[in-house]
Structure formats: C-alpha cells, structure tokens
Structure 1
Amino acid sequence: MTSTLAPATGTTPTARGPRGLPLLGNLPAFARDPLAFFCRLRDEYGDWVPWALGPRKAVFASRPEDVGELMAQVEISFSPAELGWAFRHVLGDGVVTSTGPDWRRKRALVQPSVRPRQVRSYAATMVECADATASGWSDGRAVDVAQEMTALTQRIAVRTLFGVETAGREQVIADAMAVAQQEIGAEFRGVTVFLPPWIPTRGRRRLRTAVATLDSEIERIIAEHHEAAADGRERDDLLSRLLAARDESGQPLSERELRDECITLYIGGHETTSTTLAWAWHLLSGSPGARARLDAELATVLEGRLPTFDDYARLPFTQAIVKESLRLYPPIWLITAVARPGATIGGRPVAEGTTVWTSQWSVHRDPRLFPAPDAFRPERWDEDAADPIPDHAWFPFGGGQRTCLGTRFALVEAALVLAVLAQRWRVETEPGEIKPFPGLTLQPSRPIRAVLRAGAAS
C-alpha cells in the first residue's frame, strides 16, 4: 500500500521549526508533554521539522515514507541514538542498545530463540497462564487492570523465557520495573539526560537500587540454569537456548551478556504485552460494538474451548483489537537515529550528527493516515476496510534490521490471552480519559480500575 500524503514539506534548509531557548532549545516544551509536543510539530510545522533538544540538533519526521527509510537505514547511514544513562543502565549492552558488529553478533545469537517455530511452542504456556488467571477471578471483584495484566504476563515471561516460577517475587520485580519506568522517563524528559553518569541524583540512586533487584533475580535464574545443565537436565526455554548458542567463532554469550539479553527479552516479552492488554480492556469497555463482535468471533471459532496456536490465524478480529490498541497506545513510542556522513532521508541531506526522531504516537494518530485517529475502531484492520493503512504508518515494533525480535511473540501472546479471558469475563473499566505516561514504555498514568463481570463461559 502507498501513502496518499501530499509531497513532503520542509525539504529545504528553510524548513521551519519551533523557536527554542538559549542552551535548552525546545527541552522545556518537550519535557512537559513529549507526546503533545510531537503532535504539535507535525500539525504546525509539517512532516520534516528542525528542533533542538538542549544543544543537540534534531529533526522530527512524520511521513510514513520517511519513517520507513529511516528505519531501513539504521546500521547503514544512521546509528541508533544514545537514550541516556538511565536507559543504558537498565538494558545494558543487549541487542536493543548495542550497535555495529557487536549488535549483529548478538542478534544472530538471540534471533533463533524467538522465531515462529519457537513461539508456537510457547503458546500452550500463554494459554495455561491466562486460564489460571481467569479461574482466579470472581464476579463483582474490583481490580486494577494494569496490575492484573502485569502479573499475568510476568508469569508467562518467566515460564516461557526462563522456565521457572518467580516463587512469590512477582511484586518485588514489578516494583523494581515501575521505578525503572519512572526514572527513565524522568531523566529522558529532564536536564539530567545531559549529565555525565558519575553525577549522583536522587533518581539515579533509586534506579540503581531497582536495577540491583532485577539483576539479583536474573542472576538467580541463570545460576539455576547452569546447575541444571551441569546435572544433565534439559530445559526447553529461551534462556537454555541462549546458554547453548554460539557465535561464528564458537564463543557463547558472557555472563554479563546473558544478563543484558534476559533483561531485554523480559521487558519485551512482559512490559509491552501487559501494557497493550491493559489499554485493550479499557478501550473494549467503552466500545460495546467491538465487544459484541469479539464475543461472536470467539463463540464461532472456539465454541467454548481454550485457543491453541493454530487458532491465532482464525481470530482476525481479536488480532485487530490488539493492533488497534497498539496503534492508539504504542508501548514503544519513539525511534531516534543519528546521521552518519552522507546520510539522506527522502532525498534530503541530513548533516552528520543530527538526530532524526519519529514517534509512533504521532504517526499512529495522524488524521491523514487514520480517519478519526483518536477513535477505537478495530474494524479499520479488516481486509476490506475502506481506508487501507499505508506502509510504515503503523510501526509499534519498529522496523528495518532493528525491528523488535519479540514481535511475533508479543502479538500471539496478546491475542491468545485476550481470547482466553474474554470468553469468560467482561472487564468494565471506569469511564473517563486515562493519560499515558511516556517512560521506558507508554504506561497508564493512573490505575485502570475495573469491575469483573462473569460471562457465559464462566
């Protein structure tokens, strides 16, 4: 499909952008509300907008064609941007943050563990965990939907990725991740993003404590796997595959590299999906038509039984709900890359060292690409929809060589979990707007309170 946008704007050196402050540039406006700031750049200045994050030269791109080209050129004419000390301290040097030959080596080691064949083997665990959650709910119970989805996807993550249970440590891990979310968002949106790592701040101290907790849990899990391998016990989980993986020279991942990949995959396999499901329940609660169509599809396809991996392809509207939730509330909400010498986008030269930004939030809510962009309309994903979605207008998992390795895992998990729970329960959330908080992922800024109502299959 091809975008129907008008020709690109801002293609010459005279492209306009927002006026900034000395030294700070547009940082104050960005820090107040980065999501609104990006939409304002798009609406007031065009599709190619120069701006400044402090002293750093930047351009904001909105056209799907430019977005697609940017993602395709990372590791070629662009380098991944450094997103601050807090981001790096949490993810380390995993496949998301590494670059160049180091990134290619790690991607080659990690990718086989999340290929479609492996995702198929994880589907039964996804369904089993979701069914256990459904069995533990009770009619009329008041819940925080985000907390419920966090607990569920965390259980799925530790079982599929690490082959273990968290043995009552769920809340400890969840609290540590919440601190990481908050501090990454706070640093990214404030002047501390420019401070060298050795300068202590209250937020950095909190983050160090949270990361120490996460590291302790990951180290315990890795130690258990080493012990099992030493005893000759085979385990069929992602970490076991990482432990067995070897690069072209026959070298395994180091202990530190294992830690970084475990954290990266844990966040990708848990944080993004739990957030997507939380938003999906809130959106469904306010859309009785979509809920009725979901119920009809589940009744026709599943006839009261639990879904399997093979049912994923037979549940197109369930998939559409997930896709539309990802459109409205993309967990990963921005992509940045730094121009190398000779870089161009859409035929425009981009000066070396310039950071090109794009935002899933802004592009996904562009009225030129999505009619009624703020409305929850899963039917826009129907094969015969009147307004086909242009290429690169929807990119919740990024794109190009550096697209998220866990994309298939996340989409299958979200759809199967939604199918299991929706067969037995209606989640009636409190009406009203819930603003997102842009941290490491796009999280609800307050609890999504709901009442559980038993369905026909309960």
Structure 2
Amino acid sequence: MTTANASSYALPEPAPGPTGMPLLGNLPDFAADPLAFLTRLRDDHGDVVAWRLGGRPCLFLARPEHIAEVLAGAETVFRKTELGSAFRQVFGAGLVTSEGAEWQRRRAAVQPAVRPRHVKSYARTMIDCAEEFVSDRRSCERVDVRREMMTLTQRIAVRTIFGIDSTGREAAIGRAMDIAQEELGASLRGLGGRLPAWIPTPGRRRLAAAVEEIDTEVGRVVKERRRAHEERDDLVSRLMAASDEQGRSLTDREIRDEAVTLYVGGHETTGMLLTWAWYLLSRNPEARGRLTAELDDVIGQGRAPSYDDYEQLRYTRQIVKETLRLYPPVWLTRVVAREGSVLAGRSIPEGTMLWTSQWATHRDPRWFPDPAEFRPERWNDEVATGIPEHAWYPFGGGPRACIGARFAQVEAALVLATVARRCHFDIDSGDIAPKAELMLRPDRDVMATVRLV
C-alpha cells in the first residue's frame, strides 16, 4: 500500500456540513440511514466536514492519511467515545470500554491468547465445524444463508472461546448474545442510547435479561475450569492462565468481560463476512469459478483444508479482503478530542467527536476504481501496492486495532474453502442492502437454494 504526500496530509479548514435541526442537529438524517449520510458528507461537502450530532460538534474525515493519524492517536491525542450504559452492560470494563492504563493492562494480558500460534490450534475446530455444517446440507435445500452462517460461526466461537461442545448450551449463549448485539446496534444508531440510563425501555429490559443469561453461562464455564484443574485449549482457559505485565491474573469478572468481547468480535464479524461473501459469489459466477479452481489446485478432492493451506489459498484470501472492503462488519470509528488535540497540524477543539467510516472510505473511487464492483483481484500483490494505507481498515488500526483480526480472517478463509469445495448457495435474485446496526447486516433474509458440487 502507498503512503500520502505532504500536500494531501495537512488538514484543511473543515467544510460546513448539511444544515441540521434545532437541538437535534443532523441526528435525524444520521439515524435514518447512517451509511448514506456519511457518504453524502464526503461526496457533497469534502474530505473534512463539520456537522452536529444533537449538541455535539463533529468532524467527518475521509482521507486515509487523516484516518491513520486518528487511529494512531486513539489512546494519547484523543480518547474513545462514551459508548453508553448498554455497552458497559454487555462488555463490562473489557477492551472495548476501558482506556488508559487499565486498557493497556488488559490488552497485555489478553493479546497472547490470540497470537498466530494459538490461532493455528483453533483452525482444526473451525474446519471441523464447517465440515459438520456441510455434511448436513442437501441438494436443492432452501436455507437462509445469514442464519446458517451465524449459526456456524456461533458454534465455532462457543467451542474455541468457551470450550463448550453442547448444543443446548451453545444455543443458550448464542440467543443471549444475539439479543445483546441487536440492542447495542439500536442504542448506537438511534435516540434510545441518548436517554438517561434509568429509563426502563423495552429494549433495555431485553438487554438486561440477555446480560444476566450471559453472566450465568460464562460464570458456569469459569467455575467448571477452576474445579477441573485441567489445561484446556480454549480462550477462556488461556485467559484464566494469563497475567498482565506485573504478573497479576485476571479476575473472574475480567475473564467474563474479555470472553464476551472476543465472542462478539469472533462470531458476529465473521458470520456477517461469510454471509456477504456468499452473496457476492452468487452474484459473480466468474469469481466463484476461480475459487473452485484454486481449491481444486491447492486442496484437491481427497482431504479437508488445513491451517497449512491458508497461505496458499491466495484467491480465497483475496475474496475475504474484497468482501471486507465492500461490506465491512464494523462500519464506523469515533474518537473525541482532548484538550490540546492536534490533527495534521490543525488544533481540534476539546470535545469534538471525530468520525471515520470504513463504509465510506472503502467505497471511495479515488482509492478503488469502480468501488461498487466485486473484484478480488484488486488484492493481487502488484495491484494492491497502489492502495493507500488505511484506505482499507476493517479491523481499525493503531493501538486499539482489533486483536482478533487474524483469527477472523483465518476463520473466514478456512470456512469458505471447506464449504465451497462441496456446496454453493444460489441466492435468490434481487439486491440485498446493508443495514447499519452494531455490525453491517443484510436488510432482509438471504434466501438461497443449496447446490452440491
């Protein structure tokens, strides 16, 4: 990837954004369709746009070099946004919600659990779950691809994170997590998240019940591990064995918080990624044919994929990257300016919220010609060198980059390879639009006919 020149780096005077409403600012337009709103800021107003979310002054940034500086300064120059009571309920004081010294302590303890050598040990579970999924498929069967991929990645997440291999308990954690994620998305997008925490809305009651279920199930797993006094090859066990730079172990509550954080990142992100990948492959038969050819060449017909195949599955990995470009599960990044914050040579008033959008940047025609087109070959080594740094950043960047990025990409590629060798989803005609919730979800069921290959 390329880097920006000095002339494009300096932050210009922010352009005024769309006129908002009294008190609400641009909140109604953002809440109605955040993806379209953020794209319009770039297309109609420029690379640096001033707007208002309620009474909060905001700055939208579109250029990769400015995005890179925002991400790099997320723990020093800027601070994370206040995510609200719903996020604190779900994630506790984990990596998503903590900051400063506490965030550094937790990251130092959690990071070793998802190192590449550990991801390799989880690959067998990923492939086994995908093989189980394929063995249950029948030719001409009708399925909802999103539901099937979410169930599959849920099973992988529960087994790799919690070490649970029980359908009933998998389902219990999965249902609670799904409710929690739906309510988090509603809180992020709408007015409900800005109401005082003491107001008992229906969504908040559903969230409280889901969190209680999550706490019960995760607490049960931790207690079982402590009673058994055995080493297990799952993330909870690794978190239990982890320690920070001072040698302090994580408490049971801290283990719970980080396990939930890893679950949401590992399950929802990868499930959405695979759903969109199948949608794009169904709409692009030439790419599907190239995928089949690569799988025949690298794996053949006599065995299942393995972790050792991952680096050789170049086109498969390009499909994953291109899907993440077009439909990044995490579509929005926000930080808040501290006193004295400076970005690209310009002072930013304290309290200003700085917004960047993976959705808008990944579809910017300056960095990606014909940005709406699905072209995995964009990521050939020779071509990708012309793409600026941070024009593609589905896992964030800087110190707060997602620690599960490799886990998610390995899982997506190996599941895609395992399933694609034996079946394909012919998704019903008609466009499917993304819906911006906590993650980028399809706006309707993704119905398909299974075709065994």
**TM-score (structure 2 length as normaliser):** 0.96
**In the alignment, which residue of structure 1 is the partner of 2:292?**
295
**In the alignment, which residue of structure 1 is the partner of 2:247?**
250
C-alpha distance in structure 2 between counterparts of 1:183 and 1:164, whole Å: 25
- In the alignment, is residue 192 of structure 1 matched against residue 189 of structure 2? no
C-alpha distance in structure 2 between counterparts of 1:236 and 1:180, whole Å: 27
* 2:400 maps to amino acid: R
**In the alignment, which residue of structure 1 is the partner of 2:321?**
323
**In the alignment, which residue of structure 2 is the partner of 1:44?**
44
- In the alignment, is residue 268 of structure 1 matched against residue 265 of structure 2? yes
Task: Map 1:44-443; keep pairs closer than 5 Å.
Answer: 44-229=44-229, 233-304=230-301, 305-385=303-383, 388-443=386-441
What percent of counterpart residues are identical? Answer: 55
Offset of residue 409 of structure 1: 0.4
Tell me if structure 1 keeps the 8 A contact 2:310–2:413.
Answer: yes
User: Over aligned residue pairs, what C-alpha RMSD do you find?
Assistant: 1.7
Q: Secondary structure at the match of 2:377?
A: helix
Tell me if structure 1 keeps the 8 A contact 2:2–2:386.
Answer: no
What is the CA deviation profile of residues 106-131 of structure 1, one whole-angstrom value per residue up to 9, with x for unaligned ones? 00000000001111111111111111
C-alpha distance in structure 2 between counterparts of 1:311 and 1:438, whole Å: 34
* 1:272 maps to amino acid: T
The 1:169/1:437 distance shift into structure 2, 3 A limit, reads farther
**In the alignment, which residue of structure 1 is the partner of 2:449?**
451
C-alpha distance in structure 2 between counterparts of 1:272 and 1:191, whole Å: 25
C-alpha distance in structure 2 between counterparts of 1:388 and 1:419, whole Å: 28
C-alpha distance in structure 2 between counterparts of 1:249 and 1:118, whole Å: 23
Q: Secondary structure at the match of 2:138?
A: coil
C-alpha distance in structure 1 between counterparts of 2:437 and 2:308, whole Å: 35
Which deviates further from its counterpart, 417-426 or 192-201? 192-201
* 1:416 maps to amino acid: L
C-alpha distance in structure 2 between counterparts of 1:386 and 1:121, whole Å: 30
What is the CA deviation profile of residues 267-299 of structure 1, one whole-angstrom value per residue up to 9, with x for unaligned ones? 111111011001100110010010000000000
Offset of residue 9 of structure 1: 9.0
C-alpha distance in structure 2 between counterparts of 1:112 and 1:4, whole Å: 33
- The aligned length equals 451
* 1:328 maps to amino acid: L
Q: Secondary structure at the match of 1:25?
A: coil
* 1:343 maps to amino acid: S
- In the alignment, is residue 11 of structure 1 matched against residue 12 of structure 2? yes
Q: Which runs of 4+ in 1 moved over 6 A?
A: none
C-alpha distance in structure 1 between counterparts of 2:286 and 2:369, whole Å: 18
Offset of residue 218 of structure 1: 1.4
* 2:259 maps to amino acid: C
What is the CA deviation profile of residues 202-240 of structure 1, one whole-angstrom value per residue up to 9, with x for unaligned ones? 2111111122222222122222212222xxx22122111
Unaligned 5+ runs, structure 1: none
The 1:172/1:446 distance shift into structure 2, 3 A limit, reads farther
C-alpha distance in structure 2 between counterparts of 1:383 and 1:449, whole Å: 35
* 1:116 maps to amino acid: P
C-alpha distance in structure 2 between counterparts of 1:192 and 1:423, whole Å: 45
* 2:451 maps to amino acid: R
Offset of residue 180 of structure 1: 2.2
* 1:283 maps to amino acid: L
C-alpha distance in structure 2 between counterparts of 1:243 and 1:282, whole Å: 39
